[in-house]
């Protein structure tokens, strides 16, 4: 299984600012996934990041709010833009190869 390094592990941010989360995979993968997990809820897919093309966003998520970069087959970033307290959540990245492994998560608190 792929090993994924994710950072930062946690952050407390002021509303209106932006935070960029990074995920590095130890092998080349075609697709990377970005999820959000709100307290007491399951994982919700934000978008699929493909190298060489724009990310594919799920319903309810837009590029202006969650811009994604995928410069190569081992790396991706997710930015949470213009944050509000409602963005407080855990953000996780994963890869398309089953069984699915995850980065260790970024615990974001917006104050």
Partner 1 sequence: RKEVEQDPGPFNVPEGATVAFNCTYSNSASQSFFWYRQDCRKEPKLLMSVYSSGNEDGRFTAQLNRASQYISLLIRDSKLSDSATYLCVVGGESYIPTFGRGTSLIVHP
Q: Footprint of partner 1 on this chain (CB under 8 A)?
A: 1, 31, 33, 41-43, 45, 48, 90, 92, 96, 98-105, 107
Cβ distance to partner 1 smaller for residue 29 or 83: 29
Sequence-ordered list of residues with C-beta below 8 angstroms from that of 53, at least 6 positions apart, any chain: none
Cβ distance to partner 1 smaller for residue 49 or 80: 49
Phi, psi of 86 (to 5 degrees): -65, -15
- The rounded distance, in Å, linking the Cα atoms of 37 and 19 is 16
Cβ distance to partner 1 smaller for residue 26 or 96: 96
Cβ distance to partner 1 smaller for residue 85 or 99: 99
Min CB(87)–partner 1 separation in Å? 17
> Tokens standing for 78?
């997710």
Which pairing describes strands 10-13 and 106-110: parallel, antiparallel, or unpaired? parallel
Min CB(4)–partner 1 separation in Å? 9
Min CB(107)–partner 1 separation in Å? 7
Beta bridge partners of 93: 34
Q: What DSSP designation does 3 have?
A: -
């Amino acid at each position: 299984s792929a090993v994924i390094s994710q950072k930062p592990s946690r952050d407390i941010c002021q509303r209106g600012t932006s935070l960029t989360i990074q995920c590095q995979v130890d092998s080349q993968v075609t697709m990377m996934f970005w999820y959000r997990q709100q307290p007491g809820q399951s994982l919700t897919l934000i978008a699929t990041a493909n190298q060489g093309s724009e990310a594919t966003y799920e319903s309810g998520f837009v590029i202006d709010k969650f811009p994604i970069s995928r410069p190569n087959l081992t790396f991706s970033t997710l930015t949470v833009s213009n944050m509000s307290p409602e963005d407080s959540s855990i953000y996780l990245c994963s890869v398309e190869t089953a069984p699915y492994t995850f980065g260790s998560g970024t615990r974001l608190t917006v104050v």
